[in-house]
Structure formats: C-alpha cells, structure tokens
Chains A and B, each alone.
Chain A
Amino acid sequence: VFLGCAAIAFGPAAALVLLTVAAEPLRVIVLVAGAFFWLLSLLAASLLWFVSVQLSGREDAALLLLGAAAAVLLQELCRFACFKMLKKADEGLATLSEDGQSPISLRQMAYVSGLSFGIVSGVFSITNTLADSAGPGTVGIHGDSPYYFITSAFLTMALVLLHTFWGIIFFDACERRHAGGLGLVVGSHLLTSGLTFLNPWYEATLGPIFILTLCTGLWAFGTAGGSFHNVLKCLSCKQEPEGQVMLYSALQVPPEE
C-alpha cells in the first residue's frame, strides 16, 4: 500500500522533476525557493487558524473551512510574491548575462515554481498518511471509508498537477496583467479545496477534480504557447528550415574570450 500510494501520488511529479528539473542547477534552486514560499504561506495560514481556534475556544468545521480558504488565498499570495521575486531575478540574470538574455525564461520559472508548489503541497498533505500506511493498522475501522489511502494518493497527484498548471497560468496572467487569469486560478484553487470538503463522497470529489485538472492542463498548455498544431509538428518530428537563422548568427561577432 505504501509504495503504491507513494508512486501514485508522486509518480508524475518525480518524472517531471527527473526529466526537466534535475539537470539544470538554476531550476533546482527555483524549485527549492518555490517550496520555501509555499511553506511561508502554510505557516501564515496555520497561524491564522491556530489563533482563531484559540480565540473561539473550540474547534469546529466552520473554522476549518475558513482556515482552508485562508490557506488557499495565502498560497496564491505567496505565489504572487514568488512571481515578483523570480521576475526580479530574471531581470537581474538578463542584465548579468553576456547576450542580454537570462539563462532561464520566465515561463520555465513559472513551470518550475508551480511544480515546486505542487510537490511541497503534496508532500505535506500525504507524507504522514504514507508513513502511517506502512505501519500496522486497519483502514476505516471506525466506519470511515476503506479507500482512504488510494483516494488520498489520487487527490495528491491531482493537486500536484494542478499546482503546476496554476503556476504557469498565474505567472502568464501576472506578466500580461490579465486579471481574468488570476481570478480563474484563485477561483479554481478555491473550488478544488472546497470540493475536497465533500470527501468521503468520492464520486463528487475525485471526478470533478480530475476533470478540473484536465481542463486546467489544457488551458496551461495553451497559455504556454502550445497548440494542436504544435503537438502535431512535434509528433511528426519535422525539422524547420533554419537557413535564415544560421545566416543571421553567422553575421554576429563571436563573443570575446
């Protein structure tokens, strides 16, 4: 159970990290920085929830709802802060580089930071659960659903992917000052979080969340510049004629040693 759920939850994330992030040091740093920002948001949200529980003197579902909503909003706020920092970093890298172009584009940073938010969010959601799944115990012995682990794993996987897509869309929307995009990201995050409140009615939560993931994925793909045409081109492995490009670069003065 442990290995299966871990693989379900973190399989896509691990594959994405290994294939795209691990090779480049700058992306790894962005990954860790994104994780840090998410942790800050979690800290703030927990503080809020904790204070509200202490003040009201009891713990109930309404406070939890409020706490979750606050957490979502704070996460998006921290995503914005991450965007600002990465934008500044991008500009700095561009100025410092030789040919005026930063070694990592803002889109790549958007993807990596979204991925990092997703990974750390997933890790924090499910690690304790996974640790418990390895130990002795019976699931749902008090009448809860026996599918707790596997649904948690699927939800985590969806969440990781969603965060990645949200990252891409969010950064793009911020870059182009497109408030609609921002609103949609925040709205869909709130929707996702809200849907999980319907657990353990899994049909109502897992289904919509996966549909949402798919839609957000397609939207993010479109935002990042992809299109049906691109996919076809990629699949057919056609080479573009690069004659003009070569000529241009041949005219450039080679960089000084």
Chain B
Amino acid sequence: MITFMNNSDSEEEPCNERTSLMSAESPPVPSYQDGLQASEAGEAQAHRKRRAGSSRSPNSVTGGETSGSGVPVRESAPESEEEELTLKYGAKHVIMLFVPVTLCMIVVVATIKSVRFYTEKNGQLIYTPFSEDTPSVGQRLLNSVLNTIVMISVIIVMTVFLVLLYKYRCYKFIHGWLILSSLMLLFLFTYIYLGEVLKTYNVAMDYPTLFIVIWNFGAVGMICIHWKGPLQLQQAYLIMISALMALVFIKYLPEWSAWVILGAISIYDLMAVLCPKGPLRMLVETAQERNEPIFPALIYSSAMMWTVGMAKPDTAARGPSQQTWNAAEDGREHLRSPSHAESQMSEARSPVPTRPVTSLEELDEEERGVKLGLGDFIFYSVLVGKAAATASGDWNTTLACFVAILIGLCLTLLLLAVFKKALPALPISITFGLIFYFSTDNLVRPFMDTLASHQLYI
C-alpha cells in the first residue's frame, strides 16, 4: 500500500499541505510466516510529496531534480497549485523507488540464475498444502486455486489479528512479533543463503568464520532496522531481507500456485486498502486517530528521518513547515506524540537538530523521501524471480516483467499524486507483470528465438 503520511487533523486543512497524507500505517511484517500477510500489511507507503511552499525550484535547469513526473494531471484550479508542487517532486520520488526495487530484483534474479538451490523443488510450505504433482491439468489448476485460497485466508486472518492487536493496544506483542520475525530473517535465512552461495561457488568456510560473519551481519541488521543506523545501511538491509524473503517464496511456492497467489494478493491488496471495511484501511485510520507512527522495520524509506529529540517548533509559526516536518518523520515519529515515538524509534537518523524553519522546508525537499512497504518489494521480486526461474532460461521474459513492474510503480505513484490517499502498490504492477510474463513467454519468445537464430533484427 502506498499511503501518504498524514496528521490526523490534517484532513480538513485546505490547500496548504500535503496533508492528504495519511499516516501510513503498515502493519508490521512479522516473521516470514506471517510474512505473507505481513506483506500486504506492509504495502507501500509513499511519503507525501511535499509541497513545501518554498520549493519553487523550477523547472529549470540546475541540477535537474524536481521535475514533475511524466504525465501531468489537469486538476481543478484550487487544487492545481498543490498538484503542481506535488508533481514537481514526483519524478524524484519515482526514481527513489525505482532504485531499491531494481536492486532487490537484481539480487533475486542473480541468485536464481546462479544458485541452483532456489530453483530446486524441495517441499512446500504448510500454507500451500495441495501438491501440484498431479497428472491432469484440471486437477493441478484446482490444487493451485485451493492453495491460493488457503494462503490468502491465512493472510487475512493474520492481518485481522494484527489490526485487533493494534486496536487493543497490545504494542508489546506486536513489537515482539516484529523482532522475532526480523531475527529469523536476518539470522536463519541469511545462514541458509550464505550456505547455498558458498556451495555453488565451491568455497570452503569454517564454522567460526561463518558464525562471526552471520553474527555481525544479523546484529548490525537488527540495530539498523529496529533502532538507529545510517540510512543507506538500513536501506541495504531492508532490500536484503526483502530479497531473502522473496527467494524463500520462489523456492517454496509451486509454480501455478505462485502465479495465482500473485494475482489473488493484488486483488486482496486492492480491497484491503480501498474498501471501507478493509483491514489495512482500518489500521491506517486507527493509527491516524491516535496520531501514532507506524511500525518500524516494515517500510523502506528513502529519506532521513528526524528523531524525536528535535525541538518542536512552535506550531503557530509554521503552518506548512509543520506539515512537511511531520511528513519527514514519515509517520514513524509523530511530533504530537513524542513519547510514543520514542518507543518506536526506528531507523531514525539524527539530523542536525537545530535548523531554522525556512531551511528546514528547503531541506525537506531534498530529503523528503518516499516510502514503500516491504511486502511490495517482496512480491515484485517474487514475480521477477519466478519469471527468471521458470521461463525456460529466457532473459527476455525477466526483462519484460522488470519493465512492466517499473511502469506499474510509476503509474501507481502518479495515481498517488492524483488521489492523495492510501493506495495499494501491488495491483497495477503485478497485473502488468503477469500480462507481460505470460505473453512474453508464450508469444514473444518463439518469435525472438526464430529471429535470433537467423540473426535478424527488427
């Protein structure tokens, strides 16, 4: 889900800010088991595009950032100014998301293509109990649909459970769950991954070295993700755990089930985020009511975050900048509830605490980032990874899915700029990805192969 960050009472505020940001709550992505539901829980959250009034960095020239996104939106006059500033920064945000998504996909595809382990069939998860080894096509289809139903129901149950936990303020439980899941990801899955990579390249490593490496990796990861750390290190860790999770899915989901699950989960994402009674939407609204930040460790953020320690400027003086500042916190820490935020200090970096207001606004632009839930990373990578694993050794399919996902992401961010409310990030990208996968694999591949065998170019 891509959402905007919002201050609870900002809904009514007129044109000034980017108040349309909703506090993006992304339910935490618990352990990999719940990773499923966690995934949709942690859907994308986009940072709100700031419309800091000061940012009139025009289209000019310099440095080139801030150019609006590709396709403009003609809106009604009163909103046009907000639109304008929003779209100005749209392009930069899109790129800030392109890069990590691309990196995650590259890691997954590189692993799939080189390490045999992740393409070997070695059992299935308990969430997909039906086997696909049946002789008839109809039976196989039926089994994959049943698998999908089981998986999606598990996801729904977990999400609802999470929403209930959140509603009844069982924060400790949620935190414990989150920590447990990231522990498992960072230690166990990394150990397995490292083991397989070493096996593939026939590199010998003794246990003490392995222990030290994994210990350091995991410990630093836990600190970076759940507490404080350099932004880029945190981003790198989040990308790595998304890739690891995606690899697990690619390995353990049987083929047809994987595609049906991808389709079903984008529909689920659409409904959970947009329907009034959807669990994710309720979560967002509850968090908004309470003015609370989102759970850490489930969101990829591309900008630095301000710590709670920053002095709270007086609200009266800075209408817009307050908004932007809040946005900068990205919902993790809300200015209004510093105590709460403290307990959930996530990857906040501590920027220079004393900045004059105006420069804060200007800085915000550069530093304001976009957020995307890790679940989206995971499912994008699952799609591309599955394409790489099962498309008969064809690179064209992988590349086509990659472009499709990027375009879907671009369109989703555009819609986000238009609608300014929580949006699911999966549907458009996954739809494009699925269409391109099946059509490229079945139609384009024979065509291009025939052309290549005669060395023909079109």
Footprint of B on A, CB under 8 Å? 23-26, 28-30, 32-33, 35-36, 39, 42-43, 45-47, 49-50, 59, 64, 67-68, 71-72, 75, 85, 88-89, 91-93, 95-99, 101-104, 120-121, 123-125, 127-129, 131, 148, 151-152, 155-156, 159, 192-193, 196-197, 199-200, 255-257
What are 19 contact pairs spanning A and B, CB under 8 A? A24-B65, A25-B65, A26-B64, A29-B70, A32-B410, A33-B407, A42-B447, A45-B447, A46-B439, A50-B442, A93-B67, A93-B72, A96-B83, A125-B448, A127-B396, A131-B395, A193-B458, A197-B456, A200-B455
Checking B53, B68, B70, B449 against A128 with a beta-carbon cut-off of 8 angstroms, the contacting residue is B449
Contact A92 B67, beta carbon cutoff 8 Å: no
Checking B59, B454, B456 against A93 with a beta-carbon cut-off of 8 angstroms, the contacting residue is B59
Which residues of chain B in 3-58 are interfacial with respect to chain A, using CB atoms and an 8 Å cutoff? 53-54, 56, 58
Distance in angstroms between the alpha carbons of A159 and B457 in the assembled complex: 8
Contact A128 B448, beta carbon cutoff 8 Å: yes
Distance in angstroms between the alpha carbons of A95 and B436 in the assembled complex: 34
Distance in angstroms between the alpha carbons of A88 and B458 in the assembled complex: 28
* B69 surroundings in chain A (CB, below 8 A): 26, 29
Distance in angstroms between the alpha carbons of A42 and B448 in the assembled complex: 9
A124/B457 contact (C-beta < 8 A), A33-B407, A96-B72, A96-B87 known: no
Distance in angstroms between the alpha carbons of A155 and B72 in the assembled complex: 37
Contact B458 A45, beta carbon cutoff 8 Å: yes
Q: Which 8 A-B pairs have the closest CB atoms?
A: A92-B72, A103-B59, A103-B67, A26-B67, A25-B91, A25-B95, A71-B458, A46-B447
A26/B443 contact (C-beta < 8 A), A32-B410, A103-B60 known: no
Distance in angstroms between the alpha carbons of A98 and B59 in the assembled complex: 8
Contact B65 A68, beta carbon cutoff 8 Å: no
Checking B56, B70, B98 against A30 with a beta-carbon cut-off of 8 angstroms, the contacting residue is B70
Contact A25 B455, beta carbon cutoff 8 Å: no
The B interface, classified by DSSP as helix, strand, loop or mixed, is helix
Distance in angstroms between the alpha carbons of A96 and B417 in the assembled complex: 13
The stretch of B210-218, B257-265, B330-338, B398-406 in contact with A is: B398-406
Contact B446 A85, beta carbon cutoff 8 Å: no
Distance in angstroms between the alpha carbons of A95 and B59 in the assembled complex: 11
* A46 surroundings in chain B (CB, below 8 A): 439, 443-444, 446-448
Give the interface centre of B403, B404, B410, B456 by most chain A CB atoms within 10 Å.
B456
Distance in angstroms between the alpha carbons of A22 and B410 in the assembled complex: 17
* B239 surroundings in chain A (CB, below 8 A): none
A196/B456 contact (C-beta < 8 A), A89-B72, A103-B59 known: yes
Contact A26 B72, beta carbon cutoff 8 Å: no
* A91 surroundings in chain B (CB, below 8 A): 72
A47/B399 contact (C-beta < 8 A), A92-B73, A192-B457 known: no
A152/B455 contact (C-beta < 8 A), A127-B396, A128-B448 known: yes
Contact B443 A47, beta carbon cutoff 8 Å: yes
Within 8 Å of chain A (Cβ to Cβ): is B71?
Answer: yes
Contact A155 B74, beta carbon cutoff 8 Å: no
* A89 surroundings in chain B (CB, below 8 A): 70-72
Contact A64 B450, beta carbon cutoff 8 Å: yes
Nearest residue in A to B61 (C-beta to C-beta)? A103
* A125 surroundings in chain B (CB, below 8 A): 448, 451-452, 457-458
Within 8 Å of chain A (Cβ to Cβ): is B94?
Answer: yes
* B59 surroundings in chain A (CB, below 8 A): 93, 97-99, 101-103
* B366 surroundings in chain A (CB, below 8 A): none
A199/B439 contact (C-beta < 8 A), A29-B410, A89-B70 known: no
A24/B64 contact (C-beta < 8 A), A92-B73, A96-B87, A255-B58 known: yes
Binary contact track B229-244/A, C-beta < 8 Å → 1, others 0: 0000000000000000
Contact B64 A124, beta carbon cutoff 8 Å: no
Shortest Cβ distance from residue A65 to the other chain B in the assembled complex, whole angstroms: 9
Distance in angstroms between the alpha carbons of A195 and B60 in the assembled complex: 43
Checking A36, A45, A104 against B403 with a beta-carbon cut-off of 8 angstroms, the contacting residue is A36
Contact A97 B84, beta carbon cutoff 8 Å: yes
Within 8 Å of chain A (Cβ to Cβ): is B196?
Answer: no
Shortest Cβ distance from residue B68 to the other chain A in the assembled complex, whole angstroms: 5
Nearest residue in B to A42 (C-beta to C-beta)? B444
Nearest residue in A to B84 (C-beta to C-beta)? A96
Contact A196 B457, beta carbon cutoff 8 Å: yes
19 extra interface residue pairs, beta carbon distance < 8 Å, beyond A120-B399, A255-B58 = A28-B95, A32-B403, A32-B407, A33-B410, A46-B448, A71-B458, A89-B71, A89-B72, A97-B58, A97-B68, A98-B56, A98-B58, A98-B59, A103-B58, A128-B396, A131-B395, A155-B457, A156-B457, A193-B458
